[in-house]
Every structure is written in C-alpha cells, then in structure tokens.
Amino acid sequence: MSAPVHMVELREVVMQFEERKILDGVSLIVEPQERLVIMGQSGSGKSTILRLILGIRQPTSGNIFFKQFEITRLSRRKLQQVRRQIGMVHQYSALLSSLNVRDNIALPLEELTDKSPDEIEKIVDQKLEIVGMTEAKNLMPSELSGGMKKRVSLARALTLDPELILFDEPIAGLDPVIASVIDELIIRLTEESKITSIIVTHEMESAFRIATRMAMLYRGEIIEDAPPDQFRQSQNPVVAQFLSGSTEGPILEGSQDAIATK
C-alpha cells in the first residue's frame, strides 16, 4: 500500500535572509479539507510559509510538498500547472484597479485555460453568485467596500476550482461585523466545495471561529499545533500570553532584540 498523500507538507524548512532566520526547521502537515490557521506575531514568517507553498520563494533548506509534488524541485512550467490547483486570497485583495469585477475574476481563466468566452462568462457568474456579489459584476475596484473586495478576491481564487486556498490576513482592515461575514463565507465555501485552506491571521476571534486546527509560529519554530479547543488550553507560556494579550510573559522579554533590528 502506498503512503497517504497529504495536501501540504513542510519538512524541516529553513528560510534565512542574511543573518536572520525567519523559519528555523519548520515541519507541518495539512490534511485534505482541513482549515489550518497559522498564528504568530507580525514578521514571524506566517506569510512566508504561504509564499513557499506557492513556489514564489525558495527555502534556504528543507522540502515543501503539495500533494505528490515537491514544489522546490519542479520546473517553472510544471510549477505553473500545479499553481492552478492553489487559490490565493491576498491581504489587500490585490484586485487590478484598471479592470472591473468581471474582468478581474475572468483573468485567470483567460490566461491559464482555453475555455471559450461563453464558458468563462458562465464561470464568472457562478463564482460571483457563490460569494453574493452578482450585482457588482460591472463595478470597478474603487467602487467596492473592503468587504466587497474580499468577496471578489475570494471569487477569483475559486475560478479554477482549486483544491487548496491560501488566505493571507483575510479580514485585515474590516469592521467586526463584516469580518464575521467573511469568516462564515470561508467556512461555508471550504465545506461545500471540500477545499483545504491555510489561513494566516493574528485576529484571535476569527482564528477560533474558522480553524479546524491551529499552529503558532514563534522565533522561527512551530511551538504549538492542535485543534482549537486544545490550543486554547495550551500550557506553553508564549501561546498563553499571545491568547490573553497580556504584557506579562516571555514574548515581551525578548522584544528588545526585535525592536533593535527593525
């Protein structure tokens, strides 16, 4: 019998910029249909993990797998093919300001597939309906609120029917009510479409709402990896301090180095 294939696996991944180690031997497994939330302080390497999975960055050492593909060893052409199975929702939506909503969503289909204009139109309409943005089809990004931009960005990430979606701070800059709406949308879409997702956030309420599993990065290492209920009860003093928001604890004790290097 062959070993089961994980959706994503990082093995002893090191990422170093000059003297600074962003990731220091990170190992992580994401199973199909999980919603893994990665937490940590700003600059801890959370978004770097997403870029490594996409193959946008190369690790200093270690191995990164998406299903059976080792991302770090793929040719450019093969990597482009594999990326079609991965959707990305960027922190600030990353919509092209010169294109309307319809054209932003159609772009991956036009550039990466040989679908006919009619097929593309049908897919665009379908994805807009899924995220509740049908009425916004002809609007420009400048006419959209923050929450609407997130929805359009999510619709675009869904266009190629990916198996994995990466979310970089999906509710950054949104008010609490709209943030809850986006969280619920992420949960519903991933469950209905059986999509695996990795969500980078430091928004505590959102993290516990979305996650089926949570991991915390601290000083380049995963210091906790558990389902939300267990994560909340963590005995690790760093995790406990991060969850409580207390100024007392190990995080601030080491912060002078962080301040000095900024």
| DSSP structure string for 190-253 | HHHTT-EEEEE---HHHHHHH-SEEEEEETTEEEEEE-HHHHHT---HHHHHHHHT-SSSHHHH
pLDDT at 227: 96
Answer yes or no: are the C-beta atoms of 27 and 51 closer than 8 Å: no
Residue at 33: amino acid letter: Q
pLDDT digits (tens, 9 = 90+) for 72-111: 899 989 998 898 999 998 877 788 989 999 999 999 898 8
Q: In whole angstroms, give the CA distance from residue 156 to residue 250.
A: 41
pLDDT at 218 over 50: yes
Question: Bigger pLDDT: 4 or 38?
Answer: 38
pLDDT for residue 255: 53
- Enumerate domains of the chain plus CATH numbers: 34-46+82-261 (3.40.50.300)
Query: How far is the C-alpha of 109 from the C-alpha of 118, rounded, in Å?
Result: 12
Amino acid at 97: S
Q: Sorting pLDDT into bands at 50, 70 and 90, what band is 167?
A: very high
Whether this model's pTM surpasses 0.75: yes
Identify the band that residue 14 occupies on the pLDDT scale cut at 50, 70 and 90.
very high
Predicted confidence (pLDDT) at residue 260 exceeds the cutoff of 60: no
Amino acid letter, residue 161: D
Q: pLDDT digit string (tens) for 35-70?
A: 999 998 887 888 999 999 999 999 999 999 999 999
Give yes or no for residue 262 having a pLDDT over 50.
no
